[in-house]
Amino acid sequence: MEDDAPVIYGLEFQIHIIDFDDENNIINKNVLLHQAGEIWHISASPADRGVLATCYNRTSDSKVLTCAAVWRMPKELESGSHESPDDSSSTAQTLELLCHLDNTAHSNMACVVWEPMGDGKKIISLADNHILLWDLQESSSQAVLASSASLGGKGQLKFTSGRWSPHHNCTQVATANDTTLRGWDTRSMSQIYCIENAHGQLVRDLDFNPNKQYYLASCGDDCKVKFWDTRNVTEPVKTLEEHSHWVWNVRYNHSHDQLVLTGSSDSRVILSNMVSISSEPFGHLVDDDDISDQEDHRSEEKSKEPLQDNVIATYEEHEDSVYAVDWSSADPWLFASLSYDGRLVINRVPRALKYHILL
């Protein structure tokens, strides 16, 4: 992706594509119609930037059914065109349906995740208590169910969210149902690990540390964010309790895993610096050879103590619950947050910290 960072978010039956030009701080908006139903989950294909998958609600004779489908955006909107705002208010365009993730056998799709490093051919969807692995064939116009797994047990178990781990050759997926986190191997569709009672209440979201293999973060309705080492699941490595209500999203920065972003229904977005459990707990160690002659030779020794974790900043620009936060894939210092009242806020990591991490 280039310099500007298009952001997609679903608004009822529309998808808004926001182009953010960070050199000039200008925002352009394009609207796509998604007539199939109300969107509850959206995710973009990592391989083809014009393809995305949505989970949406369809109301049929007073019953609400959540389905999933794969769509393609119109060509002009893919690469973030620099249209002037006047043009975008013309006719909204529609998405082209590529294929449905057919769910006659199962009831409600909770979310859809793409294989991160793959060629956009593998997709996993979570429906009630099933994990379904799909193969997208014939340029994504057909979805074939490759394998599936179910959660056994008493009561109505329901998956709430899932994430595909970028490690282990993309063969691991983690899911959350109620208060339990589970890890699955996609080759055999069997459970690898299980973290019971990860949170006191419902687990809302989870994310994998992009740099450290076995680490993941989860957040839930007990207002806490917990960091886990999947090799030792009896106890979290770290717990953050900065929010005062349910935490809906937790996201690691794609390159610098000490930066963790969380959004909560107390209307706050908190950026935390989890240095001690990141891949660089002692800060950025620089070899002497790398220092150019123009810079001063810093003879100060960096202490060998791990740096302290702290909250970098709390962003309070939202007036209502924040339901989604994410990092930009173009610029690692840029992130966006979305709240219930439709406000999208784009922020940057404070410059001082950025230089501290880089240098």
Partner 1 sequence: MDSETDMVRQIRALDSDMQTLVYENYNKFISATDTIRKMKNDFRKMEDEMDRLATNMAVITDFSARISATLQDRHERITKLAGVHALLRKLQFLFELPSRLTKCVELGAYGQAMRYQGRAQAVLQQYQHLPSFRAIQDDCQVITARLAQQLRQRFREGGSGAPEQAECVELLLALGEPAEELCEEFLAHARGRLEEELTSLEAELGPSPPAPDVLEFTDHGGSGFVGGLCQVAAAYQELFAAQGPAGAERLAAFARELGSRYFALVETATISYILTLTDEQFLVQDQFPVTPVSTLCAEARETARRLLTHYVKVQGLVISQMLRKSVETRDWLSTLEPRNVRAVMKRVVEDTTAIDVQVGLLYEEGVRKAQSSDSSKRTFSVYSSSRQQGRYAPSYTPSAPMDTNLLSNIQKLFSERIDVFSPVEFNKVSVLTGIIKISLKTLLECVRLRTFGRFGLQQVQVDCHFLQLYLWRFVADEELVHLLLDEVVASAALRCPDPVPMEPSVVEVICERG
The residues that touch partner 1, with contacts defined as CB under 8 A, are 12-14, 31, 38, 57, 59, 62-64, 201, 223, 244-246, 265-267, 319-321, 340-342
CB 81, min distance to partner 1, A: 21
HSE (CB half, 13 Å, CA atoms) of 337? 28
Question: Are the beta carbons of 117 and 170 closer than 8 angstroms?
Answer: yes
CB 73, min distance to partner 1, A: 19
CB 245, min distance to partner 1, A: 5
HSE (CB half, 13 Å, CA atoms) of 212? 24
64 beta partners: 59
Q: Which is nearer to partner 1, 79 or 321 (CB)?
A: 321
Q: What are phi and psi of 337, to 5 degrees?
A: -140, 150
Q: Which is nearer to partner 1, 262 or 278 (CB)?
A: 262
Q: At 119, which amino acid appears? A: D
Helical spans, DSSP H, in the chain: 75-78, 85-88, 351-358
The full 3-state SS of 180-203, as one line of letters, equals: EEEEEECCCCEEEEEECCCCCCCE
CB 279, min distance to partner 1, A: 33
CB 63, min distance to partner 1, A: 7
Q: Which is nearer to partner 1, 196 or 320 (CB)?
A: 320
Q: Which is nearer to partner 1, 1 or 11 (CB)?
A: 11
CB 11, min distance to partner 1, A: 9
Angle ∠(311,315,317) on CA atoms, nearest 5: 170
Q: Which is nearer to partner 1, 201 or 279 (CB)?
A: 201
Residue 70, both tokens: 């794969």
Q: Which is nearer to partner 1, 169 or 197 (CB)?
A: 197
